[in-house]
């Protein structure tokens, strides 16, 4: 594959990145077949060679080890890529805590800078909204970090429309990252319209439904004991059996376009707006190559409408998260 992944700008911020980024979480955290460190570094560098310039990590992945991995992998090309990381789910020791206290933001950002081996974090997200800290204080803390040159752009993850507006009034929000795919379309209700209105980019995570929309997972798939999909209602055997109907429809449409279900699902996301940049993750070079070809797959308005119709005809079974986790994510 040639090094020619198209570029996109996240909203009106001026942050230009490849049309598809790489979500790095699964390289070392929350998934079954995590790679050894050298293999993971090789995959990240292969992504760079293929034209990816946008890489996503977080303090809580590990905790901390994923940031170190991404920092080491990208060290030789640091001036050619943009790296996003996230605060707010762990304290300085790595213990889980939902906290966006300004002092903790400052401390953990300094630690992230060291682990990533950079002077400036390209995009710093609040990982989850903290109900105990006004979003204005969070945005103000990041605004100070931007003034100090430690951060270039501010982002929010899984934030609601009003939270986005309030944050943006204090410090420009460059990107909102939330789950969005053909089987999780809730952002269309309120979040995508406010992003369009305010000139904010949108970064879908799990754009392939945590792997399900690739067609490589079915009711017979077994996951490693460390894989978090074991605990997700949408990945019970019964749910997978029912949800296979969506993948079957994508496969049928894709065959006419010379595209895999994964490529169709990614191209559909890219077709929703020019400021959307999905970040599929993978541990396999062949999947990386397959995903990136979606950036050059042209879907007509008729194609997009056909995919919408196919999705609307399938009742997706199972919630994306257990109820207690959904409460934490969707404020």
Q: Which residues are catalytic?
A: 61
Q: Which two tokens stand for residue 312?
A: 């609307």
Cis (ω within 30 of 0) for the bond into 183?
no
Is residue 72 a contact partner of residue 117, using CB atoms and an 8 Å limit? yes
DSSP for 119-164 reads SSEEEEEESS--TTS-HHHHHHHHHHHHHTTSEEEEEEES--HHHH
Report d(CA 232, CA 189) in Å as an integer.
23
Report d(CA 182, CA 122) in Å as an integer.
28
Is residue 187 a contact partner of residue 157, using CB atoms and an 8 Å limit? no
Is residue 121 a contact partner of residue 112, using CB atoms and an 8 Å limit? yes
| Residue 276 CB-density burial (10 A; 0-12 exposed, 13-18 middle, 19+ buried) | buried
Q: Which two tokens stand for residue 284?
A: 């396999």
Report d(CA 121, CA 173) in Å as an integer.
15
What separation, in Å, do the N-terminal and C-terminal C-alpha atoms of the chain show? Answer: 41
Q: Which two tokens stand for residue 232?
A: 């997700």
Pick left, alpha or beta for residue 268 (phi over 0 → left; psi -120 to 50 → alpha; otherwise beta). Answer: alpha
* Long-range CB contacts for residues 38-42, cutoff 8 Å, separation at least 24: 39/283, 40/69, 40/73, 40/283, 41/69, 41/72, 41/73
Report d(CA 265, CA 37) in Å as an integer.
29
Q: Which two tokens stand for residue 286?
A: 């062949």
């Amino acid at each position: 594959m040639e090094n020619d992944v198209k570029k996109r700008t996240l909203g009106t911020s001026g942050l230009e990145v490849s049309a598809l980024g790489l979500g790095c979480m699964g390289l070392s955290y929350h998934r079954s077949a995590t790679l050894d460190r050298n293999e993971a570094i090789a995959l990240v560098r292969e992504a760079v060679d293929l034209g990816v310039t946008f890489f996503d990590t977080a303090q809580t992945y590990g905790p901390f080890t994923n940031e170190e991995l991404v920092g080491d992998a990208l060290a030789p090309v640091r001036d050619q890529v943009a790296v996003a990381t996230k605060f707010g789910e762990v304290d300085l020791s790595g213990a889980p805590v939902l906290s966006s206290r300004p002092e903790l933001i400052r401390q953990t950002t300094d630690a992230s800078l060291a682990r990533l081996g950079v002077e400036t974090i390209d995009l710093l997200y609040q990982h989850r909204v903290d109900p105990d800290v006004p979003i204005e204080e969070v945005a103000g803390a990041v605004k100070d970090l931007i003034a100090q040159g430690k951060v270039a752009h501010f982002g929010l993850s899984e934030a609601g429309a009003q939270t986005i507006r309030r944050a943006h009034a204090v410090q420009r929000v460059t990107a909102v990252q939330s789950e969005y795919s053909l089987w999780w379309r809730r952002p269309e209700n309120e979040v995508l319209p406010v992003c369009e209105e305010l000139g904010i980019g949108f970064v879908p995570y799990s754009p392939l439904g945590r792997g399900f929309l690739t067609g490589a997972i079915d009711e017979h798939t077994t996951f490693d004991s460390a894989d978090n999909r074991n605990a997700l209602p949408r990945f019970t055997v019964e749910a997978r059996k029912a949800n296979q109907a969506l993948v079957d429809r994508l496969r049928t449409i894709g065959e006419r376009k010379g595209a895999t279900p994964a490529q169709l699902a990614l191209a559909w996301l890219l077709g929703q707006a020019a400021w959307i940049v999905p970040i599929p993750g993978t541990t396999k070079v062949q999947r990386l190559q397959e995903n990136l070809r979606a950036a050059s797959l042209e879907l007509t308005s008729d194609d997009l409408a056909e995919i919408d119709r196919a999705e609307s005809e399938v009742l997706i079974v199972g919630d994306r998260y257990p109820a207690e986790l959904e409460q934490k994510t969707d404020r």
